[in-house]
Amino acid sequence: MKKEVQVHSLFSDFDISLFKAGKHYRLYEKFGAHIMEVNSEKGVYFAVWAPTAKSVSVIGDFNYWLEGEHPLNVRWDESGIWEGFIPGVEKGAKYKYKIQSNNNDMNLEKADPYALKCEHPPNTASIVWDLDYKWKDKKYISKRKDINGLDKPYSIYEVHLSSWRKNMDEHRSLTYSEMADELVSYVKEMEFTHVEFMPIMEYPYDPSWGYQLTGYFAPTSRFGTPQEFMELMDAFHKAGIGVILDWVPSHFPEDKHGLGMFDGSHLYEHPDPRKGYHPDWKSLIFNYGRNEVRSFLISNAIFWLDKYHVDGLRVDAVASMLYLDYSREDGEWEPNEHGGRENLDAISFVRDLNTEVYRSFEGVQTIAEESTSFPMVSKPVDLGGLGFGMKWMMGWMHDTLEYFKKDPIYRQHHHNDISFSMTYTFTENFALPLSHDEVVYGKKSLLGRMPGDEWQRFANLRLLYSYMYTHPGAKLLFMGAEIGQYEEWNYNTSLDWHLLEHEPHQGIKKALTDLNKLYKSRPALHEKQFSAEGFEWIAYDDSQNSVLSYLRKGNDPKDTLVIVCNFTPTVLKDYSLGLPSKGKLKEVFNSDDKKYWGSGMRNKPVKIEKNSFHGKDYSAKISIPPLGTVVFEIL
């Protein structure tokens, strides 16, 4: 029996004023489908923003998908919000909005922008759901401020959930519940401090890797329910591991059921294609100058931190947001009101986003994937910055990988490429990324980039990781890097876990595990990782030997570590090294250790003599292994 839509609203006048001003950051509490009881009847309240619509109906499996059976009521306040309570609709019901536009008589079927659950792609309906769950991570959340601070270790394992590991018997990806066991225990075993998921918000097209979203408030149904994703979050927190989500406020796809032309008008996207269409990704760009869109996006960021207890957001493609001429030729973009190329609306949006995130949640971080020299990305908003906690160090990534591709015999002529990063590393709070983008589209795997014979390739890879982990800044490695994948990443298949049957790959995994332990346990490597006070060159100019040597320092001077990297296969014995104080040098890590499939060249404790060298008052003679990094403490 048909039940009429009843007039009901979750919006107060204050909600509406905030929404129109672009300052409502909890819209998920108002919009969408909310299971509730009204006038002693159980059902669902629906609310959607469609200001140019002539009519909006809810269609679903509860009314045979018939338009007009359950028409929503438009609010009187010109907010453009359509709403109403439908008795009898239950959790699990499938639905969409049927929208007739005033603009062009378009008849549209749209998924709910605020849906908490979506059908498994390629199906596109929204699903009535709730977020009822009893969290068990109160202890972790209470300590998160101390765990997640910028003076704490940030060793991030980047994961694409559907291709990390497959259930080979059933030829499918693991579920959220299975990952709560297998992925959590693996990340813990590898001693990473954080995991970062490539986008888990619902997306229609697998080859997009999740970067073309249609369900901004719904974890993808590919792996289970919202509650099962919460269980995965709980499991990571129980293990003491932070979770970072990739978040994509930069663009969205043109799929018919998505946000594009939502009510027959350019509602979420900018109406000017010079600002509203991305030529590289063939996708639509949000209108950052529209207040209601700003509220939508910031509410979405807050939603994941609030309802899913996420510990950080890595914001995708920030450079494409900041510049009006990004990936555009002359004549394809319009300067801002000051004649510049900066997108002033996007800059204002980003500052509002970060201000609200850090105001509302202790111990979380936002991380910008930003590839240009835009100033003060990771500086506070009140000092004129964009307000991110960290920024990806794309220059370091590019220069380092280009350097490592070169045959060691030529590296002496490119020594500046490997030392140059230290001229700017403290201008931002940098995270060093070796991400999924570096192992696709013919770039080769990290191991595949390395020159030399098989032994040298693995030694080079261990050297790369050792240099990365002793360089200032946070660390990020894409899955598969820890086992020495030969092949590029394929989103459609599992990692090549069978490689761990072989000693060289076991060695890479052990070395990386020990580097994570070193980074976590030694304050010198993380306490001042974003401060020039935490770094000092010993010698950056030994291009003849292709050697870098430097000090890393913690708050306590006794925590100082000495790092020496040899970027050639030549063994260097009796290498003189300038040092700041007397005592003894004791090895605490050596990438050439036999347990890592190295040659086994080690240093016994070395006495530091009162002989000046490298501009230091003291020095010692050490042995540097081929294509190796040695880390010493001073006793």
Q: Where are the domains of the chain?
A: 13-127, 138-142+153-521, 532-634
pLDDT given for residue 1 in this prediction: 37
Residues 39/6, Cβ–Cβ less than 8 Å: yes
Catalytic residues: 316, 369
Domains 13-127 and 532-634 are alike in CATH topology? yes
Q: Which residues contact 627 (CB under 8 A, 6 or more apart)?
A: 408, 456, 459, 460, 462, 463, 566, 567, 568, 569, 592
Residue 301: both structure tokens together: 């960021």
Q: Which residues contact 418 (CB under 8 A, 6 or more apart)?
A: 399, 400, 403, 411, 467, 548, 567
Nearest to 447 by CA among 464, 431, 433: 464
pLDDT given for residue 106 in this prediction: 80
Largest interatomic CA distance in the chain: 94
CATH number of 138-142+153-521: 3.20.20.80
Residue numbers of the chain with a pLDDT score lower than 70: 1-3
Torsion of CA 167, 168, 170, 172, to 10 degrees: 50
pLDDT given for residue 64 in this prediction: 94
pLDDT given for residue 169 in this prediction: 81
| Superfamily of domain covering 532-634 | Golgi alpha-mannosidase II (2.60.40.1180)
Residue 360: both structure tokens together: 């509302």
Residue 583: both structure tokens together: 């005592």
pLDDT given for residue 2 in this prediction: 54
The Cα 484–Cα 465 span in angstroms is 11
- CATH class of the domain comprising 13-127: mainly beta
Q: How many CB atoms lie within 10 A of CB 610?
A: 8
The Cα 388–Cα 377 span in angstroms is 6
pLDDT given for residue 3 in this prediction: 66
